[in-house]
């Protein structure tokens, strides 16, 4: 039985019918998984520590676990599996569906008889999504999400059948609040479990083997066991869920988490089942401890977006990886790896990312993602950065979010329009612009905000395509109001900014 680093689930179908007296579990830490793209030190540490905790739990329960700890050898998981099959000579090799296309292909290549089991840690199976997609052209999250609510009986009206709780499916309009000039005030600290001995050993090992990797480990407080994942869930439900919806899109200096849950790592490593997070949040609503808008907003992310992006990933791989509908060819600016830039929003978000391996959704989408999109960076390079720097990065979820939602590389599979905005959006949703040397209202001149310059330049560069998209009509009309000489100046400024990076 093969268990991968993001499959640390004691309820996994792998265990059904398995017998500790007969079956052997195989797990391996390999360098390739941390180096095939660059990887944040905290990302490597959370995977390795959670794997070792899982190994120890299984052994304590009487399972024989063949476990290969990380060393300096540049082996891949598939090569290691090949060696283990030669040594152990199993009758059958079973694995649950991996979270990455590349990995599944390479495991199948070394073990053609591999028995790949359906992953029950998701609420929509790959096959189920494929069937849902049949006959549908462009799929939209909203309709998939409604289906999922009905199918799983989540936040449904308990009296009227088939109706959503509160009469509306979606309270997104109430979820776009900013903090205003006063700022967020006192926010309950989002502290995670402190590292135990095993985690501290892993941290030391990661520092030793991967000294040149991005990020650092001094704040490490990520969950590495199901019990710790429960603690993180409880901390969120009690202290931050009630305000989650309203300020979901807001950003503030030195406040990486605000009201967000920090549950993505626990969910992605399978330390916490999404059903558990959804049910627990719904219970808070039913008990009158959180509003419907807050709870619906949270549940939509997990039951809706999370399952939707996974479905799209498997539907469109392997082609998704190279999609580049806008023909973007620029390189990723070097400051994505250092945070050294005069643009304060990027300095804050990249800095926080390197510090904690974390940024919330709007920081990823509307700061780092938006800048790369406006600049015209090749989507695959943007994807490699996101996969490297976030502790929760696993390809099935990262790739559609990056290449699809954030870079519009998929030409509209994931979203109906590119998420583009000028620096004024960042000014409205954060306090970043207040301390920046640029002015978000200006598109030309020495104080022009690069986001604003590049925004108009983006609309001009892709005018033909955007004009044909009804959802872009307002933005295109605003561009039409620019005088020809203004447009020319913006284009010159955008080009010279691009070359200065
Ligand atoms: C460019 C880009 C790259 C991303 N890469 C990843 C990634 O590698 N791994 C990852 O788990 N998420 C990714 N996301 C989605 C989202 O940003 C993170 O899930 C979220 O920020 C994690 O923080 P949190 O747990 O505090 O989330 P919260 O804001 O508290 O949300 C609750 C949960 O909902 C789920 N969720 C929310 N938004 C999404 C989404 N768009 N897609 C899928 N699930 C979602 C997550 O499981 C999250 O834990 C990415 C988004 C963008 C725009
Ligand atoms: S002015 Fe522009 S570059 Fe500066 S923080 Fe605001 S959006 Fe970012």
- Helix, strand or coil for residue 447? coil
Q: Whose CA is nearest to atom 13 of ligand 1?
A: 398
The secondary element (H helix, E strand) that includes residue 464 is helix 463-467
Residues 308 and 353 reside in one and the same domain: no
SS3 content of the chain, % helix, strand, coil (to 5): 55, 5, 45
Tokens of 108: 């199948």
Determine the atom of ligand 1 nearest the C-alpha atom of 368. Answer: 1
Ligand 1 contacts CB of residue 383 (under 6 A): no
Angle between helix 292-299 and helix 274-286 axes, rounded to 10 deg:
170
What domain range is 57 assigned to? Answer: 13-117
Residue located via tokens 């939602």: 405
Asked whether residue 26 is domain-assigned, the answer is yes
Asked whether residue 221 is domain-assigned, the answer is no
Ligand 1 contacts CB of residue 360 (under 6 A): yes
Ligand 1 contacts CB of residue 262 (under 6 A): yes
Question: Last residue of some domain: 316, 349, 378?
Answer: 316
Ligand 1 contacts CB of residue 389 (under 6 A): no
What's the pTM value of the predicted model, to 2 decimals? 0.96
Residues 491 and 467 reside in one and the same domain: yes
Residues 113 and 130 reside in one and the same domain: no
Residues 289 and 406 reside in one and the same domain: no
Give the number of the ligand closest to the Cα of residue 389.
1
Give the number of the ligand closest to the Cα of residue 368.
1
Asked whether residue 232 is domain-assigned, the answer is no
Q: How big is the CA angle at 7 (ends 298 and 77), to the nearest 5 degrees?
A: 135
- Looking at residue 292, which CATH number applies to its domain? 1.25.40.80
Query: For each of the chain's 501 residues, which pLDDT tens digit applies?
Result: 999 999 999 999 999 999 999 999 999 998 876 667 789 999 999 999 999 999 999 999 999 999 999 887 767 899 999 999 999 999 999 999 999 999 999 999 999 899 999 999 999 999 999 999 998 888 999 999 999 999 999 999 987 788 999 999 998 877 778 898 888 888 888 889 999 999 999 999 999 999 999 999 999 999 999 999 999 999 999 999 999 888 889 999 999 999 999 999 999 999 999 999 999 999 999 999 999 999 999 999 999 999 999 999 999 999 999 999 999 999 999 999 999 999 999 999 999 999 999 999 999 999 999 999 999 999 999 999 999 999 999 999 999 999 999 999 999 999 999 999 999 999 999 999 998 999 999 999 999 999 999 999 999 999 999 999 999 999 999 999 999 999 999 999 999 999 999
Rounded-to-integer distance, Cα 468 and Cα 459, Å: 12
Asked if residue 150 lies in contact with residue 329, where contact means CB atoms within 8 angstroms, the answer is no
Residues 130 and 113 reside in one and the same domain: no
Residue 97 falls in which region: left (phi positive, over 0), alpha (psi -120 to 50) or beta: beta
Q: Whose CA is nearest to atom 7 of ligand 2?
A: 423
Asked whether residue 203 is domain-assigned, the answer is no
Angle between helix 274-286 and helix 226-239 axes, rounded to 10 deg:
30
Residues 476 and 354 reside in one and the same domain: yes
The secondary element (H helix, E strand) that includes residue 367 is none
Residue located via tokens 């359906």: 118
Ligand 1 contacts CB of residue 392 (under 6 A): yes
Pocket of ligand 2 (CB under 6 A): 343-345, 423, 426-427, 432-433, 436, 438, 440, 449-451
């Amino acid at each position: 039985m093969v268990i991968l680093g993001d499959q640390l689930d004691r309820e996994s179908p792998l265990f059904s019918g398995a017998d500790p007296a007969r079956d052997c579990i195989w797990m391996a830490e390999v360098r390739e998984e941390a180096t095939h793209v660059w990887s944040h030190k905290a990302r490597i540490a959370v995977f390795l520590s959670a794997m070792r905790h899982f190994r120890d739990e299984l052994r304590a329960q009487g399972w024989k676990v063949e476990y290969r700890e990380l060393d300096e050898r540049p082996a891949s998981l598939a090569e290691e599996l090949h060696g283990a099959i030669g040594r152990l000579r199993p009758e059958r090799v079973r694995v649950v569906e991996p979270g990455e296309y590349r990995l599944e292909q390479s495991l199948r290549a070394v073990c053609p008889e591999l028995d790949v089991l359906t992953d029950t840690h998701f609420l929509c199976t790959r096959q189920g999504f494929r069937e849902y997609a049949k006959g549908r052209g462009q799929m939209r999250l909203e309709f998939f999400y409604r289906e999922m609510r009905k199918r799983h009986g989540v936040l449904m009206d308990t009296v009227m059948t088939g109706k959503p709780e509160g009469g509306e499916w979606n309270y997104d309009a109430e979820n776009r609040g900013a903090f205003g000039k006063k700022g967020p005030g006192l926010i309950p600290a989002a502290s995670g479990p402190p590292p135990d001995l095993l985690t501290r050993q892993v941290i030391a090992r990661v520092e030793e083997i991967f000294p040149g990797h991005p990020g650092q480990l001094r704040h490490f407080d990520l969950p590495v066991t199901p019990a710790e994942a429960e603690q993180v869930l409880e901390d969120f439900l009690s202290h931050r869920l009630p305000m989650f919806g309203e300020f979901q899109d807001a950003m503030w200096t030195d406040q990486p988490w605000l009201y967000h849950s920090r549950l993505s790592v626990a969910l992605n490593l399978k330390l916490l089942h999404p059903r558990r997070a959804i049910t627990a949040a719904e219970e808070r609503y039913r008990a009158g401890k959180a509003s419907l808008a807050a709870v619906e907003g949270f549940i939509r992310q997990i039951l809706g977006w999370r399952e939707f992006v996974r479905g799209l990933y498997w539907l469109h791989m392997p082609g998704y990886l190279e999609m580049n509908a806008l023909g973007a060819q620029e390189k990723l600016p070097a400051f994505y790896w250092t945070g050294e830039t005069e643009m304060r929003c990027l300095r804050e978000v990249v800095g926080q990312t390197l510090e904690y391996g974390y940024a919330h959704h709007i920081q990823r989408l509307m700061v780092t993602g938006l800048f790369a999109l406006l600049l015209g960076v090749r989507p695959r390079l943007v994807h490699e950065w996101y996969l490297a720097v976030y502790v929760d990065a696993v390809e099935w979820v990262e790739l559609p979010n990056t290449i699809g939602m954030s870079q519009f590389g998929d030409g509209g599979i994931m979203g109906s329009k590119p998420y583009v905005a000028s620096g004024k959006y960042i000014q409205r949703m954060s306090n970043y612009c207040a301390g920046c040397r640029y002015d978000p209202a200006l598109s030309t001149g020495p104080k022009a905000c690069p986001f604003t310059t590049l925004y108009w330049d983006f609309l001009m560069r892709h005018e033909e395509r955007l004009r044909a998209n009804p959802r872009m009509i307002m933005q295109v009309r605003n561009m039409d109001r620019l005088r020809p000489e203004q447009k020319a100046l913006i284009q010159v400024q955008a080009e010279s900014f691009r070359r200065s990076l």
